[in-house]
Chain A
Amino acid sequence: MQDVPKIVRDRLLASATVAHHPDADLLTAFAERSLPESERAGVLGHLARCKDCRDVVALSLPPREVATATLRPARRGWFTWPSLRWGFVTAGLIAIGAVGMLQYQRHLSPQTVALKEGVRNDVAVNEPHTPPAAEPVSPPADLRDKAENTRVSASADSARNQALALTARKSMPPSEASAPARVAPAVGSTAAGAVLGERVRHGPNATTNSQQQVLAQGQQVANAGVAGRQQAGQFYQPERVPSVSETVEVEGAAPHVSEENAELKNLPTPAQSDDSLSAKVDRAKPAMESQLSGGAAPASAAMQPRTDLARAYAAPVLPRWTIGSSGTLQRSFDQGKTWQDVEVTPDSTLSANLMSLAVVSKASGAREEDKDESRALKKQKTATSIFRAVAANGADVWAGGSNGFLLHSVDAGGHWMRVVPSSSSTSLTGDILAVEFSDLQHGKITTSAHEVWTTGDNGRTWQEQ
């Protein structure tokens, strides 16, 4: 603070005069700031010259706590700098937090997008598989012999394996992965699946080394490769390749597959080369594409995999299962509060075609036998399926009903495969009364014909007790 010149002090002192002093009332009113402006100026003029009156005013001031209250500055509004300062700080912190959250979410989302892209590619590569050909051409003898011991998945299993192989194909040299990819199965496709099923069958001469490697990798990745549908995202249970028994892929609302029959017959036999097989698959592709295009939304091959994948990565919610009073299969995603019927109608199944394909895979070359069994299976297909038992281990679900109708899903009911337990020359035919799976591998089925079928490998092979 700059000081006044010394001369100013001298002149102030010199101007001090002993004039008419204001009375106590006036000084009191001045100290209490209750004087009008005109009188206040006069008192101030006197105080500027009179030290005694200045001393009196200073001494007569009210106590400091009272004076402090009166001198407190007016209440500041919200829009003053101190308030705005903290407002800016708070706003900055909120903005930083919001940006951080967005970055974190963005960091998570590319992973999902990448997986979706991978699935999309797999789906694109997964040509709609044509069911394995129910062709009259008998398979080679060696393959037929092998089929006695193993039942190759006609479409779904092989299709799934193909899908898995395709998934692994990306990491493999093209030469090794080309063969499986060409016969990538699709929904409802049986021919290629059956052929592939042959190829993936456990046993000598079943597959080449490279194919085995691919398939092994595929099996490790996913078990949801329903024919044509990308199941790579359904990572519920690895290494759950359905049984070697005759299985068919059953969609909850699969499109009509009547067109497949003719195509299936034209599909190559397992003995055919990869090229011919791929050609067959290509031929079958339009049918399957039409089939798929006419299908219901849930049966859409292109969309559902992505949906399933998204669902899998977003929040794998495992439903609860039950059998309705009318024998329908039901599931609940909200702890039993609401239940939805799982639409698995016989008409939507491909059991007829696939069963015929399965007949081909059996160690039987007689066309008549095939026809008979095909008719039998058709009967089973057309009969109304009433569920009587269901067993679930996480996403692995087994549902059994009348006429030996046994379904297996590895994705909590997203896709179904029909399983026909068979051993040697017999197969399960009676009404399934109970299905018990203590774990993923070991299960037991009880039928109305007092049959007890057990499996120890998640339904790949069955034994009648």
Chain B
Amino acid sequence: MSSTNPISAVQSIVNDLLAELHAKAGCEKVGLTRDSFAAILCEIGTKHSTSATSQSELRTFFLSLRVDELALARACAAGSNSAWEVFLTRYREKLYLSALRIAREDSAARELADTLYADLYGTNTRDGQRVSKLSSYTGRGSLEGWLRTVLSQEYVNRYRRTKRLVSLDEESEDGIQFRAPEPEPAPTVDSGVARATDEALALLPGEDRMTLSAYYLDGRTLAEIARMLGVHESTISRKIDKLAKTLRKQILASLVRGGMSRRQAEEAMEVDVRDLQVNIQRTLTQEPSPPAFSEKRVEARIREGRS
């Protein structure tokens, strides 16, 4: 886009597409006026576009929006009763089912769904105006998917908050209350190895890193990762295997370039300091093995014989 004001560019494109998008959205059914709809489109366009966004990209962006669901959501956010009737008819049951699938427990699901429903309706007010979460919907994805995402975010936030909280009663029962936990010694990692690893990871595209993170850090299955990325499970399996080989090769090459021998580099990659410490400790505390029973008897007989 040229140096012209992006807002004006957005506005001009909205003006061009307003008729088409307005008819497509069915604004009359949900009680949304043409001007209100135009304002909504401008807001969304402005939020999305940058100075580098071309008009064709903007045009494509507006045309890809789900304007019918956008109009419904914004009409609900504005308090349109007719819109709310439509929204409840379509999404109330789906909202609850999504919450149940996320929370996996009925009471938690109902609580989650009711909380979100209140946020969607706009029980909160700001500056005298009802604040509805639906006003943040921009139509880039489906409204149903957006509702699932919002539920998931709410659930994750709740879980995070719950995890940080510690029960004092449980602590006292376990006897932990009176003993300060000793911090684990921070493992000392070879800086060279870390650097080489960071360099190798930085070369990977985001999808590969996301796959590795989801698999090795989150412990997700290949099927779950495949669903997230929209590919087949076998694709993820082959990708992880290939990434493992590639990373090993690249880190090894980087370490060798840094002056390490190949064997040193391999050892540096595989050895975990924490594992190494545990191994040493185990070795130091290990008792010598007692002699075998038959050997004892032989020794006794020899002594008897001598005696």
Contact = CB atoms under 8 A, between A and B. Distances in A.
Interface in A3-32: 3-16, 23-29, 31-32
B193 A52 contact: no
A73 B232 contact: yes
A16 B217 CA distance: 10
A60 B212 contact: no
A108 interface: no
Contacts, number: 173
A15 B145 contact: no
A200 B72 CA distance: 117
Contacts of B253: none
27 contacts: A2-B248, A5-B269, A6-B272, A7-B272, A8-B251, A10-B189, A10-B272, A11-B198, A14-B194, A15-B198, A16-B217, A24-B146, A24-B149, A25-B139, A25-B140, A28-B141, A41-B205, A45-B206, A45-B210, A49-B213, A52-B156, A54-B220, A59-B152, A61-B148, A67-B227, A71-B227, A73-B232
Contacts of A56: 149, 152-153, 156
A341 B212 CA distance: 96
A44 B205 contact: yes
A4 B244 contact: yes
A52 B213 contact: no
Secondary structure dominating the interface of A: helix
B16 interface: no
Given A33-B230, A55-B156, A28 B210 contact: no
Contact of A12 (B151, B217, B220, B237): B217
A41 B145 contact: no
B35 to A, nearest CB: 23
Contacts of A424: none
A34 B218 contact: no
Contact-residue size bin, chain A (C-beta under 8 Å from the other chain): 35 or more
Nearest to B144: A62
B201 A61 contact: no
The 5 closest A-B pairs by CB, nearest first: A28-B141, A44-B206, A48-B209, A59-B152, A45-B206
A4 B247 contact: yes
Interface of A: 1-16, 23-29, 31-35, 41-49, 51-52, 54-64, 67, 70-71, 73
A28 B149 contact: yes
Q: Which of A2, A31, A33 has the most CB of B within 10 A?
A: A31
B217 A13 contact: yes
Secondary structure dominating the interface of B: helix
B146 A25 contact: yes
Q: Which of A16, A25, A42 has the most CB of B within 10 A?
A: A25
A58 B220 contact: yes
B215 to A, nearest CB: 9
Nearest to B238: A1
B101 interface: yes
A59 B303 CA distance: 75
A24 B213 contact: no
B247 A5 contact: yes
Given A23-B136, A56-B149, A41 B206 contact: yes
Interface residues of B, number: 61
Nearest to A22: B149
Nearest to A30: B141
Contact of A2 (B64, B142, B230, B244): B244
A35 to B, nearest CB: 8
Contacts of B145: 28, 31-32, 60, 62
Q: Which of A15, A55, A63 has the most CB of B within 10 A?
A: A55
Contacts of A31: 141, 145, 149, 228
A61 B217 contact: no
B140 A15 contact: no
A355 to B, nearest CB: 98
A46 B140 CA distance: 19
A50 to B, nearest CB: 9
B152 A9 contact: no
B201 A60 contact: no
B42 to A, nearest CB: 16
Contacts of B220: 54, 58
Contacts of A24: 136-137, 146, 149-150, 153
